[in-house]
Amino acid sequence: MARSKSGSCGCFCASSDPKTYAQEICDALMKTDFEMLKKIAEVLLAAKENGNMIFTAGNGGSASTASHIINDLTKGCRLGHREGFRTTCLNDSNVLVTCLANDFCYEDVYEILLKTLGNPGDILIVYSGSGNSPNIVKACIQARKMGITVVGFGGRDGGQMANWCDYCLLAPTWSMEQLEDLHVVYFHSLVCTLKEMLRTTWDIEILEYPTPAQSQALYFFSEKDVRKIPGFDEFVTAVSEEEVNDCEESEDDFIVFCTRKEEVEEAKKAGAYVVGIACDPQVMNQVSERKRDILVNAGADCIIPNFTNVKRLIKFLMKR
């Protein structure tokens, strides 16, 4: 378990003077374990690349933070036509939370929801000022049993929650108000970090979705050129295992991979779904923004940087 260090002043009360309160926040903020924040950013980015779900949960003010960050991950981290993170907040549905609390008990609400919705490889982000909220601790324990990575944001000494987190960042203050303030700052900082990381991370930029009929055949407009792009051989091998039909047998329904404006225009005239490959020749795993704009303006239906994320590309194109 990776865990940050917390302050040990033992003072539960923040200053009643606004200026002093602000100074206390600043002092605590600069004692933050920023390396832990970087690690958490990497964990979240990996989850996006693998198509995993991110769950969040909290109680009271922490429930508000858990709900707030869903907006940041889903919309705030959306770049152009590239989707944000797949995420949901376990405490957002009053119907579900009150139902489960009434029919079972409040301690079990997040555990039950996680067992119902979660899968191995997913992420659970929990917020708890004390670290001892029974429903949060039980959710963390359940997540570990399921192979779900637990990221905790706490304070004070971390409480029981810290013992069940894979990654845990403790706000270095004993004031509940201030540690909740810091949790919001931490996540907004994470969002800014993630947005920058996403600019050079493999992703599909989707303008239109292929139809099921189009997904039955693939064609490379200029295979000689496309063969040079990273991941090509692995992608072709994976496609062959999917038993995709030959383009010639599919009449007008097919997907065409193009690297040039003229190719896109010709393929669109033929009624194809066009995947533009905006590979940067200097940095082969990144999108060339200039080339991307040319392909989009020519009519490309989606843009990819290369073929290296084979599983995600096949899942999208072949609707598997």
Report domain extents, the chain.
2-198, 205-317
Q: In whole angstroms, give the CA distance from residue 164 to residue 27.
A: 28
Strands 205-206 and 167-171, sheet pairing:
unpaired
Q: In whole angstroms, give the CA distance from residue 13 to residue 243.
A: 65
Q: Give the homologous superfamily in CATH for domain 205-317.
A: HAD superfamily/HAD-like (3.40.50.1000)
Q: Mapping DSSP to helix (H, G, I), strand (E, B) and coil, where does residue 164 land?
A: helix
For the chain, 320 residues long, give each residue's pLDDT as a single digit of tens.
665 544 444 457 888 999 999 999 999 999 999 999 999 999 999 999 888 999 999 999 999 999 999 999 999 999 888 899 999 999 999 999 999 999 999 999 999 999 999 999 999 999 999 999 999 999 999 999 999 999 999 999 999 999 999 999 999 999 999 999 999 999 999 999 999 999 888 889 999 999 888 877 889 999 888 998 999 999 999 888 776 554 444 455 789 999 999 999 999 999 999 999 998 777 777 778 899 999 999 999 999 999 999 988 988 888 75
Cα-based distances in Å from 317 to 27, 250, 255, 257, 302:
50, 15, 8, 11, 10
Cα-based distances in Å from 110 to 68, 72, 89:
17, 21, 10
Specify the pTM. Answer: 0.86
Name every residue whose Cβ is closer than 8 Å to that of residue 81 and which is 6 or more positions away in sequence: 205, 206, 207, 302, 303
- Comparing CA positions, the residue from 16, 49, 47 lying closest to residue 285 is 49
Buried b (16+ CB within 10 A) or exposed e, 96-121: ebeebeeeeeeebbbbbbbeeebeee
Q: Do domains 2-198 and 205-317 have the same CATH topology?
A: yes
Q: In whole angstroms, give the CA distance from residue 153 to residue 140.
A: 12
The CATH number of the structural domain formed by 2-198 is 3.40.50.10490
